[in-house]
Chain A
Amino acid sequence: MEYKNKKNLYNVNILIICFILILIFFILSMNTGYIKLSPLDTLKTLFGGGSTKENLILFKFRLPRIVISILVGMALSLSGCIIQDISKNALADPGLLGINAGAGLMIIVYVLLFGTNTFFSIFTLPFLAIIGAGITAIIIYILSKNKHEGIKPIRLILNGIAIQAGISALTTILVVKLDDTQFDFVASWQAGSIWGSNWYFVLALLPWILIFVPYLLFKSKILDILNLDDDVVKSLGVSINKEKRRLLMVSVILAASAVSISGGISFVGLIAPHLSRRLVGPKHSILLPTCAITGSILVLAADTIARTIVQPSEIPTGIVVAIIGAPYFLYLLIKSKL
Chain B
Amino acid sequence: MTFGSFLLFLLIQFSITRGASDISFKDVWTAFFRFDNENMKHLIIIDLRLPRIIASALVGAAFAVSGAIMQGTTRNPLADSGLMGLNAGAAFALSICFAFFPNIGYIYIVFFSFLGAAFGSFLVKGATFFRHGKSSPMRLVLAGVAVSALLSALSQGIALYFNVAQNIMFWTVGGVAGSNWIQLKIITPWILLALILSILLSKSISLLSLGEDVAKSLGLNIKFITILSTLTVLILAGVSVAVVGSVGFVGLIIPHISRYFVGVDYRKIIPSSAVLGALLMVLADLGSRTLNPPFETPIGAIISLIGTPFFLYLANNERRKL
Contacts and interface: CB of A to CB of B under 8 A. Distances in A.
Interface of A: 91, 143, 152, 154-155, 157-159, 161-163, 165-166, 168-170, 172-173, 176-177, 187, 191, 266-267, 310, 313, 315-316, 318-319, 322-323, 325-327, 329-330, 333-336, 338
B24 interface: no
Closest 7 CB pairs of A and B: A166-B308, A326-B150, A169-B304, A322-B153, A158-B315, A169-B301, A172-B301
A176 B161 CA distance: 22
Contacts of A267: 149
B237 to A, nearest CB: 17
A186 B302 CA distance: 20
B300 A187 contact: no
B285 interface: no
B: interface residue count bin: 35 or more
20 contacts: A154-B319, A154-B322, A159-B315, A161-B145, A162-B315, A163-B312, A165-B308, A166-B309, A169-B308, A172-B298, A176-B298, A187-B165, A323-B154, A326-B147, A326-B149, A326-B153, A330-B147, A330-B150, A333-B146, A338-B142
B297 interface: yes
B123 to A, nearest CB: 8
Contact of B295 (A152, A177, A327, A329): A177
B161 A310 contact: yes
A163 B298 contact: no
Contacts of B153: 318-319, 322-323, 326
B141 interface: yes
A176 B295 contact: yes
B211 to A, nearest CB: 21
Contact of B157 (A163, A315, A335): A315
A316 B127 CA distance: 27
B141 A158 contact: yes
Contacts of A177: 295
B30 to A, nearest CB: 34
Interface in B147-166: 147, 149-150, 153-154, 156-157, 160-161, 165
Given A329-B146, A338-B138, 19 more contacts: A155-B316, A157-B142, A158-B141, A158-B316, A161-B311, A170-B301, A172-B173, A173-B297, A176-B295, A191-B160, A313-B161, A315-B161, A319-B153, A319-B160, A322-B149, A322-B153, A329-B142, A330-B147, A338-B136
A163 B312 CA distance: 8
B34 interface: no
B143 A166 contact: no
Contacts of B296: 176
A161 B296 CA distance: 26
A163 B123 CA distance: 25
Given A172-B298, A333-B146, A165 B311 contact: yes
A338 B139 contact: yes
A201 to B, nearest CB: 22
A90 to B, nearest CB: 11
B17 to A, nearest CB: 24
Contacts of A334: 127, 130-131
Contacts of A172: 173, 298, 300-301
B262 interface: no
A154 B319 CA distance: 8
B150 A327 contact: yes
Contacts of B149: 266-267, 322, 325-326, 329
A161 to B, nearest CB: 6
Nearest to B139: A338
A168 B247 CA distance: 12
Interface in B284-299: 295-298
Contacts of B154: 319, 323
B300 A162 contact: no
Nearest to A162: B311
A52 to B, nearest CB: 33
Contacts of B173: 172, 176
A330 B300 CA distance: 26
Contacts of A168: 304
